[in-house]
């Protein structure tokens, strides 16, 4: 069994990005600039945005944080998005989700200029991904594909089972795995899938993105399978300072001995999600997606 080290891989990618940023700046360009819009004070969202800002600093990007209180009116948020859409000094921005209930999330996503949609959530980017055009791909699937490539994992002709069909993970993951450059044969499973255990056990590549800690057990994994654990559920823990720890969708200790490759939680997919936002921002700054 080989452990897929997302932490080390993301570190290597960050170093590559930093090198590119240094050459851009040396050539007289301004550094790439990412902004984040944060509504309210949700603990998880605050942490994620703080990470994003820290990541930007590490690779030499400029970053900006735009804050609104929980009760911000939808039209005020949309106006700000339109302002950022037109800001020539900004390459990309994200609106940290989830948003308060009174704000229509889909409307927010669709107001973002697709050329600056570095989260890859806008339907234009999703559609371009589906038909294999250059696009901003949502960060988690982007990061997983990068892991498979960098570990030279054979995907062609393999049966890939993706458990989960969310718009940000499962669905785009299944699309990417079926593309001509990857060539896997893909099955998408969800909460209504029948005989999920047998289906998972038939996978050469099993991607678990359910958010159900410890759901994937030893008998659900084929000998020699590649297992990618996307799940990150916070569970209470007396052993950490924060009072919680992250638990994956896979029972690692049971499943790992059967695998050819497996991602740990934490240290697998999570760091790759973070670095993929930087990769998308660099692509936006270089005008690589929409030229
Ligand atoms: P989500 O929107 O809640 O979607 C979960 C998906 O799993 C749904 O499609 C759901 O099916 C399916 N599902 C749930 N329980 C199931 C069950 N018992 N059997 C079969 N399918 C089941 O979640 P998400 O945003 O995709 O995130 C999934 C997990 O990944 C979460 O733990 C999240 O925290 C984590 N995550 C991690 C990263 C990272 O960087 N590591 C990034 C994003 C998300 P239905 O469609 O039928 O409801």
**Mean pLDDT, consecutive 10-residue segments, the chain of 291 residues?**
98 98 97 98 94 98 98 98 98 98 98 98 98 97 98 98 98 98 98 98 98 98 98 93 93 98 98 98 96 79
* Contact (CB, 8 A) for 56 and 34: yes
* Ligand 1 centroid to residue 8 C-alpha, Å: 25
Q: What residue spans of 40-103 are helical by DSSP H? A: 43-59, 74-85
Q: What are phi and psi of 40, to 5 degrees?
A: 85, -165
Number of residues in the chain: 291
CA nearest ligand 1 atom 14, residue: 210
CATH 3.40.50.10860 placement within the chain: 28-113
Tokens of 11: 């570190």
Question: Hunting for tokens 């080390």 — which residue is that?
Answer: 8
* Ligand 1 centroid to residue 290 C-alpha, Å: 30
Cα–Cα distances (Å) from 283 to 42, 109, 112, 175, 263, in that order, read 29, 19, 17, 21, 26
Q: What are phi and psi of 227, to 5 degrees?
A: -120, 125
Cα–Cα distances (Å) from 182 to 15, 72, 149, 157, 173, in that order, read 26, 43, 9, 9, 11
CA nearest ligand 1 atom 24, residue: 166
Could you check whether the bond before residue 205 is cis, i.e. omega within 30 degrees of 0? no
* Contact (CB, 8 A) for 233 and 187: no
pLDDT at site 242: 86
Atom of ligand 1 nearest to the CA of 273: 40
Nearest to 211 by CA among 194, 230, 224, 195: 230
- Which H/E stretch holds residue 38? strand 33-39
Cα–Cα distances (Å) from 281 to 133, 202, 220, in that order, read 17, 37, 38
Could you check whether the bond before residue 269 is cis, i.e. omega within 30 degrees of 0? no
Cα–Cα distances (Å) from 23 to 13, 118, 167, 275, in that order, read 16, 22, 35, 19
CATH 3.40.50.720 placement within the chain: 139-269
Tokens of 63: 């970053």
* Ligand 1 centroid to residue 245 C-alpha, Å: 18
- CB-defined site of ligand 1, < 6 Å: 140, 163-166, 168-170, 189-193, 196, 209-212, 230-233, 269-270, 273
* Contact (CB, 8 A) for 142 and 289: no
Q: What are phi and psi of 2, to 5 degrees?
A: -115, 130
* Ligand 1 centroid to residue 233 C-alpha, Å: 10
**The pairing of beta strand 92-95 with beta strand 159-163:** unpaired
pLDDT at site 164: 98
Helix (H, G, I), strand (E, B) or coil at 127: helix
Architecture of domain 139-269: 3-Layer(aba) Sandwich (3.40)
The answer to whether domain 28-113 has CATH 3.40.50.10860 is yes
Question: Hunting for tokens 């050459």 — which residue is that?
Answer: 23
Q: Which residues belong to the active site?
A: 52, 96, 119
């Amino acid at each position: 069994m080989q452990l897929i080290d997302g932490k080390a891989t993301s570190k290597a990618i960050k170093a590559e990005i930093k090198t590119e940023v240094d050459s851009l700046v040396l050539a007289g360009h301004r550094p790439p600039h990412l902004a984040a819009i944060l509504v309210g004070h949700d603990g998880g969202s605050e942490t994620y945005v703080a990470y994003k800002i820290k990541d930007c600093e590490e690779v030499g990007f400029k970053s900006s944080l735009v804050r609104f209180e929980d009760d911000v009116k939808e039209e005020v948020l949309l106006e700000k998005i339109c302002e950022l859409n037109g800001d020539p000094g900004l390459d990309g921005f994200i609106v940290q989700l989830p948003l308060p209930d009174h704000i229509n999330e889909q409307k927010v996503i669709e107001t973002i200029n697709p050329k600056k949609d570095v989260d890859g959530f806008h339907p234009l980017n999703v559609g371009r991904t589906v038909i294999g055009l250059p696009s901003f791909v949502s960060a988690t699937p982007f990061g997983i594909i990068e892991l498979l490539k960098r570990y030279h994992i054979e995907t062609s002709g393999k049966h890939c089972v993706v458990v989960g069909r969310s718009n940000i993970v499962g669905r785009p993951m299944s699309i990417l795995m079926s593309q001509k450059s990857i060539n896997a044969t893909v099955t998408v499973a969800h909460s209504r899938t029948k005989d999920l255990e047998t289906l998972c056990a038939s996978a050469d590549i099993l991607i678990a993105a359910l958010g159900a800690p410890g759901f994937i057990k030893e008998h659900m994994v084929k000998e020699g399978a590649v297992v990618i654990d996307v799940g990150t559920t916070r569970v209470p823990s007396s052993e950490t300072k924060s009072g919680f720890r992250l638990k994956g969708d896979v029972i690692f200790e049971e499943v790992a001995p059967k695998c050819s490759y497996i991602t740990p939680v934490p240290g697998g997919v999570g760091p790759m999600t973070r670095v993929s936002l930087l990769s998308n921002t660099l692509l936006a700054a270089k005008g690589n997606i929409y030229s």
